[in-house]
Amino acid sequence: MAVEDETWNKIVRALAPFGLDLSVYKPGQIKRRLETFLNQEGFATVDALTRALTQSPDLYRKLHGHLTIHVTEFFRDRPYWLQLRSVISHERLQVPWAVWSAGCSWGAEPVTAALIFEDMGQPYSILATDSDGDILTTARTGRYLDEQYRKVPPPYGRFFERDGDAWRLVGLSHGTITYRQHNLTAEFPPQQYNVVVCRNVLIYFEPAVRLRVLRAFADALTPRGLLFLGVTETFLEYADLGFRMISPSLYQKAD
């Protein structure tokens, strides 16, 4: 089934009671994913899908996982991670670094952050959140396939060991990663953070939602806190929200 433009608002209204707020996303990308799901599952109409959702929690989890974006990898855009490391090394923080990895998917970004802190010998505490409960279950295992592990640079390979047909994260001695289900567009953890990592997530949001989330990140950061975004994500409002730009993906909140 093809999702035509005139049916989009109907789809948004129909799926909202199930906790899927599609209005926050740019329609084009989500429509393509929804079309694929309808065709794969054999639903001729959105009405047929919503009727089935009322009877099957498993179908809802499957739909949620299909619509959620999970394209990520360890050390994605590595030079920018190394730049983040350099900035952190020059900040003389006397307490463990509090890090929020928002939209963490299966854990590539919070684990990358943890490896950097471990390599520096710097204490840290990472909260990693995502709206998809199933993908968080995967993240909590700390096990990664060969194709995922291959993205880990050799100096950081010492933090993994072979575990059957996968690789397991081991040897985190300076901090912890806590995974929690959380809707980025609806609520925000009350704690303040020294670093917020949210890479290649905001590009899928409608402009007004994107700006609202960026304002919330600004509120969630401590003075001199760091906001680490995706390389292709524009943040033209950074000065208005109290940031200075270190690079196109790294911003620091004012004192």
Note the pTM of the prediction, 2 decimals: 0.80
Position 185 in a domain: yes
Q: Which domain holds residue 98?
A: 78-253
Strand partners, 97: 124
**Going along 69-159, which residue ranges are E strands?**
97-102, 124-130, 143-144
Please give the chain's pLDDT, 255 residues, in tens.
455 655 677 777 777 776 667 777 777 777 777 888 888 888 888 788 878 877 777 787 777 767 766 668 999 999 999 999 999 999 988 889 999 999 999 999 999 999 999 999 999 999 999 988 889 999 999 999 999 999 999 999 999 999 999 999 998 999 999 999 998 887 776 689 999 999 988 988 888 989 999 999 999 999 999 999 999 888 999 999 999 999 989 999 998
d(CA 63, CA 41): 10
- By C-alpha distance, which of 185, 176, 177 is closest to 136? 177
Paired tokens of 98: 């509090």
Nearest in space to 108 (alpha carbons), one of 86, 79, 84, 77: 77
Q: Burial, 18: exposed, middle or buried (Cβ in 10 Å; 0-12, 13-18, 19+)?
A: middle
Distance of CA 157 to the CA centre of its chain: 23
123 shares its domain with 217: yes
**Are residue 168 and residue 247 in the same domain, yes or no?**
yes
- Is 144 within a domain? yes
Give the bridge partners for 253, in sequence order.
243
Whether residue 117 is contained in a domain is answered as yes
Asked which of 48, 67, 86 is the last residue of a domain, the reply is 67
Q: Residue 107: which CATH number?
A: 3.40.50.150
Residue 207 falls inside a structural domain: yes
Q: How far apart are the first and last CA of the chain?
A: 53
Please give the sequence-ordered ranges of beta strands (E in DSSP) within the chain, or none if there are none.
97-102, 124-130, 143-144, 160-163, 166-169, 175-181, 193-198, 221-229, 243-247, 250-253
131 and 21 together in one domain: no
Q: Is 23 exposed, middle or buried (0-12, 13-18, 19+ CB in 10 A)?
A: middle
CB of 252 closer than 8 Å to CB of 225: yes
Judge whether 73 lies within some domain.
no
Same domain, 44 and 101: no
Q: Which two tokens stand for residue 174?
A: 């300076």
Q: Are 243 and 119 contained in the same domain?
A: yes
How many domains does the chain contain in total? 2
